[in-house]
Structures are given as structure tokens and as C-alpha cells.
Structure 1
Amino acid sequence: MKQKIVIKVSMHCRKFRRKALQVAAVAYGVTSVALHGPEKDKLMILGDGVDAACLTEALRKKLCHASVEQVEQVKDPEPSKPDKSPKLPILCCQPPQVEYYRVVPDPTPAPCTIM
């Protein structure tokens, strides 16, 4: 279930904004994090299976005040109807470039330093 979470965080400088973005980005299931709002004091988090309460608690531990403002489910866009027109195959001009390396053992062993 994809969801969009908006969390209000007290951020008064760039350092706090960067720290809040880092904490939110490493949370389980988060796919995107952005600053939101006119004062850039809200985090808009998109993800799949994100626990909003745990994320808010982590932000409270690292920063000072954080509160959940909105949690909503994001629906996937409806698939468009396929075109009835026939499609021509795409011809590739060049094969993919592959590099091969050959490992050759050293034919002369190194002299023994003990004897």
C-alpha cells in the first residue's frame, strides 16, 4: 500500500533540515522525501509500508518537535488502453560492448628469498 505522509518538524536552519531529510530517508519503505509548505517546515514522505508513528518518534529523538499532519493512501494511476495500431520492431544498430580479460599466470616463479 503506497502512502503519502506529511510530518511537521520544527526546523529553523539548514542543519536541521538536512538532518530531518537524512532521518526520514533511511526509514524502512521510504522511496521519496521532500520539503513542503511555505516555510519549508513540513516533510512530505512517499513510500510503501512506512510506519508514520515510528518515523515521527525517530524525528523527535534526533530533532526536537515533530507531529504527524496527514497520512493518506496514494492510488496507482489507471493503466491506459493499449493502442490498436501495429508496432514495428526496433532494430538495434550495434551489439552491446563487452570487454573480456584473459588471466595468464606468470611462467617464471619468483626466486626464493630464503635460500
Structure 2
Amino acid sequence: MKMKIVMKVKMKCGKCRTKALQIASQVYGIEFVGFDEERQDEVVVTGRGVDAAEIVGALRKKAGKTRLINVED
């Protein structure tokens, strides 16, 4: 089952944006990692068998403030 996860990550600079993408892409099962077209502070992750809690936990630990916005099938 393919899932779409949207998270809001507090990012101050371009380096922070790159770091957030790298952290999110390291989780097993990820097919796409990117930013929302309208809101550049929201990270969108899609994949099969992806654990939203694992991604949010990794981002909170390494990138800073992260809030889970939406999880869709």
C-alpha cells in the first residue's frame, strides 16, 4: 500500500532544507521525498510500507522541530 506523508519541518536556510531531505530519504521503503509546491516548509514523503513515526522521529532528532500534518493511503 502506497502512503503519502506530509510533515512540517522548521527550516531556516538552504542547508537545513537539504539536511531534512537527506534524513527523510534514508528510511526504508521511500520512493519520493520533496517539498510541497505551495508551502516550502512542508516535506512530502511517499512510499510503500513507510512508518510515519520513524520518519518524524528521525527528523526531530537530527533536524529540529517537526510536526506530522497528514498521512494518506
Give the Cα–Cα distance (whole angstroms) in 2 for the partners of residues 20 and 39 of structure 1.
15
Runs of 4+ in 1 over 3 A off after TM superposition: none
1:26 is aligned to 2:32? no
Give the Cα–Cα distance (whole angstroms) in 1 for the partners of residues 57 and 22 of structure 2.
14
Q: Which residue of 1 aligns with 2:8?
A: 8
Question: Partner of 2:50: helix, strand, or coil?
Answer: coil
Give the Cα–Cα distance (whole angstroms) in 2 for the partners of residues 42 and 4 of structure 1.
12
Q: Percent identity?
A: 45
* Larger Rg, first or second structure (1 or 2): 1
Q: How many residues align?
A: 73
> Which structure shows the higher strand fraction?
2
- 1:63 CA drift (Å): 1.1
**For structure 2, which runs of at least 5 residues remain unmatched after alignment?**
none
Give the Cα–Cα distance (whole angstroms) in 2 for the partners of residues 39 and 48 of structure 1.
24
Give the Cα–Cα distance (whole angstroms) in 1 for the partners of residues 45 and 58 of structure 2.
14
Return the TM-score normalized by structure 2: 0.94
- 1:38 CA drift (Å): 3.2
Which amino acid in 1 is paired with 2:55? L
1:36–1:7 distance in 2 versus 1, CA, 3 Å: same
Give the Cα–Cα distance (whole angstroms) in 2 for the partners of residues 48 and 38 of structure 1.
25
Give the Cα–Cα distance (whole angstroms) in 1 for the partners of residues 15 and 38 of structure 2.
18
- 1:34 CA drift (Å): 0.8
Higher relative contact order structure (alpha carbons within 8 Å, sequence separation ≥ 6):
2
- Quote the RMSD (CA, aligned, Å): 1.0
> Which structure shows the higher helix fraction?
2
Q: Which residue of 1 aligns with 2:41?
A: 41
**For structure 1, which runs of at least 5 residues remain unmatched after alignment?**
74-115
